[in-house]
């Protein structure tokens, strides 16, 4: 009887170890956002940036709006230019936001991984990270849950000055991708509150799959 219980114990332990090894093996995989063709039609719109330090394009849901102004976003000692899109409520307050910030590579931010490390240090609520490929370029993605750091600066893109003088409710969800190409670091991120997480995940996946760095 003892030998039988011991055998069952060994089998159960082996199963658990196999499951753990399988999970650890999966951690090393790179998530590739395979490029897809632009959809067009009534559901999506296309944006192309042909000015500034880098040229790129992407497709975004038709119910999002392009911000009326480009704003500056500072990471460590480097200031970048942020282009953002959002779905707004009746008060022009962003419910769901996706943004691209461009930083010039320098000694302080020599590559995408260095920028990602500095960004990660500014947030609480970190959940997980993974290597990813966007527009054929490998980078890193962070996923946050229950963020306690305020995301107040992106709201300024809609000139929502009334929101700049009050405390912003901590957000429930954020994804942030860093890649670099040539002399430019691309920070691509999205955030929202809990009711919109599933939709924002889908919108952000589509955004990354249609993101193109242009020559």
Sign of CA dihedral 104, 110, 116, 117: negative
Q: Quick one: pLDDT at residue 185? A: 96
**If pLDDT is split at 50, 70 and 90, which confidence band does 118 have?**
confident
Indicate whether 77 pLDDT > 70: yes
Does 177 score more than 80 pLDDT? yes
Per-residue pLDDT at 21: 35
pLDDT at 204: 96
Q: What is the mean pLDDT of residues 176-191?
A: 94
Query: Partners of 134 in the beta sheet?
Result: 137
Q: Is the pLDDT of residue 69 over 90?
A: no
Confidence bin at 173 (pLDDT 50/70/90): confident
Neighbours of 2 (CB within 10 A): 6
Q: Is the distance from CB of 151 to CB of 96 less than 8 angstroms?
A: no
Instruction: Return the domain boundaries, the chain.
Output: 30-213
End-to-end Cα, the chain, rounded Å? 72
The contacts of residue 197 (CB under 8 Å, 6+ apart) are 172, 173
Superfamily covering domain 30-213: Mog1/PsbP, alpha/beta/alpha sandwich (3.40.1000.10)
Judge residue 141's burial from the number of C-beta atoms within 10 Å of its C-beta, 0-12 exposed, 13-18 middle, 19 or more buried: buried
Percent of the chain with pLDDT over 90: 40
Strands annotated E in 6-125:
31-32, 44-49, 56-61, 65-66, 71-75, 78-88, 94-104
């Amino acid at each position: 009887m003892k030998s039988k219980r011991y055998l069952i114990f060994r089998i159960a332990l082996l199963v658990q170890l196999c499951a753990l090894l399988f999970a650890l093996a999966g951690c090393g995989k790179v998530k590739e956002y395979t490029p897809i063709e632009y959809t067009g039609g009534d559901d999506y719109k296309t944006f192309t940036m042909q000015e500034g330090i880098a040229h790129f394009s992407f497709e975004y849901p038709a119910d999002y709006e392009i911000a009326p102004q480009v704003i500056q976003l500072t990471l460590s000692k480097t200031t970048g230019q942020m282009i953002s899109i959002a779905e707004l409520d009746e008060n022009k307050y962003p419910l769901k936001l996706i943004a691209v910030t461009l930083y010039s590579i320098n000694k302080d931010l020599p590559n995408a991984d260095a920028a990602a490390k500095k960004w990660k240090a500014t947030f609480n609520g970190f959940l997980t990270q993974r290597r990813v490929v966007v527009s054929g370029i490998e980078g890193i993605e962070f996923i946050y849950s229950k963020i306690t750091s305020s995301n107040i600066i992106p709201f300024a893109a809609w000139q929502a000055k009334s929101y700049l003088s009050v405390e912003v409710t901590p957000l429930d969800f954020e994804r942030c991708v860093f890649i670099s190409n040539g002399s430019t670091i691309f920070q691509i991120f999205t955030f929202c509150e809990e009711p919109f997480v599933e939709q924002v995940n889908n919108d952000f996946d589509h955004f990354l799959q249609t993101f193109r760095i242009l020559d």
